[in-house]
Amino acid sequence: MTVPPAPWALLAEVTHACPLHCPYCSNPVELVRRSRELATADWERVFGEAADLGVVQAHVSGGEPLLRPDLAAIVAAAHRAGVYTQLVTSGVGLTATRLEELVKAGLNSVQLSVQDARAPGSDLIAGRVSYADKGRAAGVIRAAGVPFGLNVVLHRHNLDHLPEIIALGAAWGAERIELANVQFYGWALRNRAALLPAREQLDRAKATLAAHRDAHPEGGPELVWVMPDYYEGVPKPCMGGWGMRSITVGPDGTALPCPAAYAIEGLAPPNVRDRSLSWIWTESPAFAAYRGTGWMTGPCGTCPRRETDFGGCRCQAFALTGDAARTDPACSLSPDHHLIRDLVEGLHETAVDGGESRTAATVPSGFVYRRPT
């Protein structure tokens, strides 16, 4: 069995409840109901155990974590344990008073999401009017002087707005903009046909990004490009390797090596209500299942890149082939690569409404919005 290094990060999904309805939602298809959420005291124990294991950073996420009335107490528990905390938020409900309360509790940074550069496009993807709330939240974060990152999921309906998105991040005062090309598992897989861009569109966006970086070698926000693995022929080193860097604890205490791994059948994930985080990390079968390289079969087993990309993404392998132990179909060496190659090769640009003229009434065909269960 591979002996794991100390985990670096904890993703604390304190609730799955969310005011937005994004079609690319990364939360599981079956959401955890509010009545099953961990209590404040459970989170306090989890953060203490995480710190003992070596975790240095917690992403306090959801859903929308601001929907937890005890969020400041949760953040304070992480802070007391000595863990750096980042709030991951839609911005809906982030008032100056609420942020002040969180900062006093020990919050270290905020990551705000926005769905597009302008209100019509952003509200359309979010499935409700929310862009103005996000602008207000950005002002509140900047006024508080807290380190501020902006996250934008990129897809067919906003990739052409990249220059405006970058300008928006700079105008809102973000120090970092994460340009996260949509990943297709969970709810997003249901919307793949409506979200997947064509290669020409992605190439244009990459050229825009390179030109922007050349024109602003030092100034402006740091731009982080999360690769669109459907087009690269090489898989992403998902999660930095299964069970190697990060622990996700879901709203009901389910512990997973990856937030999307709820969907992997047969994994039998442990729960922090029953087990210590130390046991979960070092001894649980779920965390050991795809750790290291011993589990690899097929082309990964002898591939020189197996210590670099760890065979790609287990959740994507499961979602597309039904077997999480297969090589990620995003890899050009995978016997299942045709599942992705045939899809993207057959895809060519069709006119996409630029968003400026869109209203919430013109939902792109095929969109399935996320709704609470």
Q: Is 18 annotated as a binding residue?
A: yes
Q: Which of residues 307-336 bind ligand FES (CB under 6 A)?
A: 313-316
Binding partner of 311, given ligand FES, ligand SF4, none, CB within 5-8 angstroms per partner class: ligand SF4
H runs (alpha helix) in 59-144:
71-80, 96-105, 119-126, 131-144
Q: Is 22 annotated as a binding residue?
A: yes
Query: What is the Cα 26 distance to its own chain's centre?
Result: 6
- Please identify which residue in the block is written with the tokens 């528990």: 77
Q: Does 336 bind ligand SF4 (CB under 6 A)?
A: no
Binding partner of 300, given ligand SF4, ligand FES, none, CB within 5-8 angstroms per partner class: ligand SF4
Binding partner of 235, given ligand SF4, ligand FES, none, CB within 5-8 angstroms per partner class: ligand SF4
**Range list of β-strands (E), 172-280:** 176-181, 222-226, 246-249, 255-256
Residues 6+ apart with CB under 8 A from 167: 117
Q: Does 329 bind ligand SF4 (CB under 6 A)?
A: no
Q: Which of residues 297-316 bind ligand SF4 (CB under 6 A)?
A: 299-300, 303, 305-306, 309, 311-312
Q: Which amino acid is at 281?
A: W
Nearer to ligand FES, 245 or 341 (CB): 245
Tokens representing 194 are 């409506």
Q: Does 239 bind ligand FES (CB under 6 A)?
A: yes
Which residue in the set 81, 258, 280, 296 belongs to the binding site for ligand FES (CB under 6 A)? Answer: 258
Q: Is 25 annotated as a binding residue?
A: yes
253-257: list long-range contacts, CB under 8 Å, 24+ apart. Answer: 253/38, 253/42, 254/32, 255/280, 255/284, 255/286, 255/287, 256/286, 257/286, 257/287, 257/290, 257/291
Could you tell me if residue 194 is left (phi over 0), alpha (psi between -120 and 50 degrees) or otherwise beta?
alpha
Nearer to ligand FES, 95 or 297 (CB): 297
Residue set of the binding site for [4Fe-4S] cluster: 18, 22, 25
Chain positions contacting ligand FES, by CB under 6 A? 185, 238-239, 258, 260-261, 313-316
